[in-house]
């Protein structure tokens, strides 16, 4: 495979120049990543978890970290997205590279750190390696029934690729009991015509702490870029992490992300993913509920049209007893767009009193729109409550006529119903700021899809 030969050159050329090169910990992490990439390669549809998402497009894409095309120090002219402008701590990355000028981290409470990974490595490679090692890599093992070769396939190659070029990213640690009032934002802005970035995002929330994190991926003139993001999340005992990702890149971009989260006893991990950009976008979320009483909410909304492709893949692993999980993923598919939903819930033998719920709904706006949905429940405990549902359908004709019979033009009626369909997912978001932003972005996207601006502001009566 030509891409790998090129990558070998790239790896050999670039790695000596990466921050912390020569430091044992980082060299090891990068070598491991590179080895994993060589072993697993880019996933192909032959791999179970990638049956419906074909990465053949990657063959023509440069995997090399993008070289900044803008003077990142001087250029602060970007419209930087924010869930609460001026009221967040933010790290901004332009074409994958940390941009200090655009970033703004206010005074942080004792026990909280928020750093660019590059800064952290440059300050202390040993400490950076130690932090990186805290986070388990995503596992290929997506169930107890996995065959004789559980280490292979899945997303290993992509995670390996990310590791081989480990340099950029963000590290957030919230110390025990600290409740951070202001959201933390991690913003990726694409300006380049092409090029790849492989950021690592690490969020470590200690026992009893609470934090809200918004992750943005947007294009400001960016083109066929390739983002390959690997995130590690740890939520300590009784802690709460509310995490939302807004993926709104250019329609020519490739976006592949895997998130691995571990949730301790009585802790809560909420994650929401909005996918409206990219010609191909996949988010792979793995949540392990490791302590009794842990809970997670995984939700996603997507919109694809043209011949674009969105994939939401999740694994919720109930390891401990008394845990709850709730997953709601909904999307709108138009044109020849295609969406994939793969959602697996595992309930391990010790995970008694599990309460797991999963719902996946797709709205198909054209005859050529397509959804592949694969819900899976793997249950090994006997005292559990688990349910899943999947539907795919068109807009409700009855509802459409009802709206039109009240004078609402057909296209506005359609836009209203689409917004309503997606707003229901946004309702899953616990944090008000994240929820409001999600709804606004959904409405903006529907506006571009239908040409209609709908105002679904239900707060007209005042709360």
Partner 1 sequence: MLEIKNLHATIDGKEILKGINLTINPGEVHAIMGPNGSGKSTLSYVLSGRDGYEVTEGSVTFQGKDLLAMEAEERAAEGVFLAFQYPVEIPGVSNTTFLKTALNAVRKHKGLPELDAMQFLKLIRAKAKALNMNDDMIKRAVNVGFSGGEKKRNDILQMAMLEPGFAILDETDSGLDIDALKLVADGVNSLRSPERSMLVITHYQRLLSYIVPDHVHVLAYGKIVRSGGKELALELEAKGYAEFGSPEAA
Chain residues that interact with partner 1, rule: CB under 8 A: 396-399, 401-410, 412-413, 416-417, 419-421, 423-424, 454-458, 460-461
C-beta closer to partner 1: residue 127 or 401: 401
Q: If you count DSSP H runs as helices and E runs as strands, how many of each does the chain have, helices first?
A: 8, 20
Q: Residue 351 half-sphere exposure, CB side, CA atoms within 13 Å?
A: 29
- Give least dist CB 303 to partner 1, A: 15
Nearer to partner 1, 181 or 458 (CB): 458
Least Å from the CB of residue 422 to partner 1: 8
The residue (of 12 and 457) whose beta carbon lies closer to partner 1 is 457
Residue 89: CB atoms within 10 A of its CB come to 21
Q: Look up residue 18 and give its DSSP letter.
A: S
Q: Are strands 184-190 and 112-116 parallel, antiparallel or unpaired?
A: unpaired
C-alpha distance across the termini of the chain, in Å: 59
**Left if phi > 0, otherwise alpha if psi is -120 to 50, otherwise beta: which for 230?**
beta
Cβ distance to partner 1 smaller for residue 151 or 451: 451
Q: Find out whether 159 and 36 touch, Cβ atoms under 8 Å.
A: yes
53: helix, coil or strand?
Answer: coil
Residue 85's CB: how many other CB atoms inside 10 A? 10
Q: Which is nearer to partner 1, 24 or 399 (CB)?
A: 399
The secondary structure of residue 179, as a DSSP letter, is: B
Residue 443 C-beta: closest distance to partner 1, Å? 11
What stretches of 124-185 show up as alpha helix (H) in DSSP? 125-134, 156-164
- Written as six digits, the tokens of 177 are 């009991």
Measured from the CB of residue 314, what is the shortest distance to partner 1 in angstroms?
23
- Is the CB of residue 380 less than 8 Å from the CB of residue 354? no
CA atoms of 315 and 269, how far apart (whole Å): 14
Strand 112-116 vs strand 169-174: parallel, antiparallel, or unpaired? antiparallel
Whole-angstrom distance, CA of residue 381 vs CA of residue 111: 39
Q: Closer to partner 1 at the Cβ: 109 or 409?
A: 409
- Our CB check for partner 1 shows the closer of 71 and 367 to be 367
Question: What is the smallest separation between the CB atom of 273 and partner 1, expressed in angstroms?
Answer: 19
Count other C-beta atoms under 10 Å from residue 382's C-beta. Answer: 8
The owner of tokens 């033009």 is 409
Q: Tell me how far, at minimum, the Cβ of 83 lies from partner 1, in Å.
A: 22
Nearer to partner 1, 69 or 456 (CB): 456
Contact 265, 320 (CB under 8 A): yes
Nearest to 240 by CA among 165, 293, 201: 293
With respect to partner 1, which residue has the nearer C-beta, 148 or 393? 393
Least distance from C-beta 319 to partner 1, angstroms? 34
CB distance 69 to 80 below 8 Å: no
Which one, 12 or 396, has the nearer CB to partner 1?
396
Supply the minimum distance, in Å, between the C-beta of residue 411 and partner 1. Answer: 10
Least distance in angstroms from the C-beta of 454 to partner 1: 8
Q: What are residue 98's phi and psi, to 5 degrees?
A: -60, 135
Q: Which residue matches tokens 């890149």?
A: 249
Q: Closer to partner 1 by CB, 383 or 394: give it.
A: 394
* Smallest gap from residue 413 Cβ to partner 1 (A): 8
Least spacing, CB of residue 292 vs partner 1, in Å: 35
- On whether the CB atoms of residues 20 and 169 are closer than 8 A, the answer is no
């Amino acid at each position: 495979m030509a891409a790998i030969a090129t990558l070998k050159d790239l790896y050999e050329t670039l790695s000596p120049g990466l921050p912390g090169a020569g430091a044992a910990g980082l060299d090891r992490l990068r070598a491991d990543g590179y080895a994993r990439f060589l072993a697993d390669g880019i996933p192909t549809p032959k791999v179970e978890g990638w049956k419906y998402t074909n990465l053949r497009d990657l063959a023509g894409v440069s995997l090399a970290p993008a070289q900044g095309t803008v003077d990142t120090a001087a250029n602060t002219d970007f419209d930087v997205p924010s869930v609460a402008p001026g009221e967040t701590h933010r790290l901004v990355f332009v074409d994958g590279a940390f941009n200090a000028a655009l970033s703004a981290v206010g005074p942080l409470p004792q026990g909280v750190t928020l750093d660019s990974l590059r800064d952290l490595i440059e300050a202390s490679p040993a400490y950076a390696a130690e932090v990186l090692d805290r986070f388990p890599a995503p596992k290929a093992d997506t169930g107890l029934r996995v065959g004789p070769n559980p280490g292979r396939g899945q997303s290993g190659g992509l995670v390996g690729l990310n590791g081989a070029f480990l340099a950029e990213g963000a590290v957030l640690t919230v110390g025990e009991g600290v409740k951070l009032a202001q959201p933390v934002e991690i913003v990726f802005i694409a300006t380049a015509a092409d090029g790849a970035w492989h950021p690592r995002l690490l969020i470590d929330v200690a026992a009893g702490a609470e934090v809200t994190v918004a992750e943005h991926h947007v294009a400001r003139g960016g083109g066929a870029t390739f983002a390959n993001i690997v995130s590690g999340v740890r939520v300590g005992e009784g802690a709460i992490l509310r995490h939302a990702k807004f993926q709104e890149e250019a329609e020519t971009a490739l976006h592949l992300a895997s998130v691995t989260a571990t949730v301790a006893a009585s802790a809560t991990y909420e994650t929401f993913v909005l996918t409206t950009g990219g010609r191909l976008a996949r988010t792979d979320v793995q949540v392990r509920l490791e302590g009794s009483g842990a809970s997670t909410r995984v939700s996603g909304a997507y919109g694809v049209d043209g011949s674009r492709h969105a994939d939401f893949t999740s694994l919720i692993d109930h390891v401990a007893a008394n845990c709850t999980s709730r997953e709601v993923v909904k999307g709108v598919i138009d044109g020849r767009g295609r969406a994939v939903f793969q959602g697996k819930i595992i309930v391990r033998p010790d995970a008694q009193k599990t309460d797991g719920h999963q719902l996946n709904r797709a709205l198909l706006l054209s005859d050529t729109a397509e959804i592949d949905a694969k819900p899976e429940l793997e249950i090994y405990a006997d005292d559990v409550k688990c349910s899943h549902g999947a539907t795919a359908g068109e807009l409700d004709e009855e509802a459409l006529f009802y709206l039109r019979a009240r004078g609402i033009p057909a296209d506005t009626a359609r836009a209203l119903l689409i917004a309503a369909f997606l707003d229901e997912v946004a309702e899953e978001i616990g944090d008000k700021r994240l929820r409001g932003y999600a709804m606004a972005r959904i409405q903006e996207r529907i506006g571009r899809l239908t040409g209609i601006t709908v105002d679904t502001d239900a707060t007209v009566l005042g709360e």
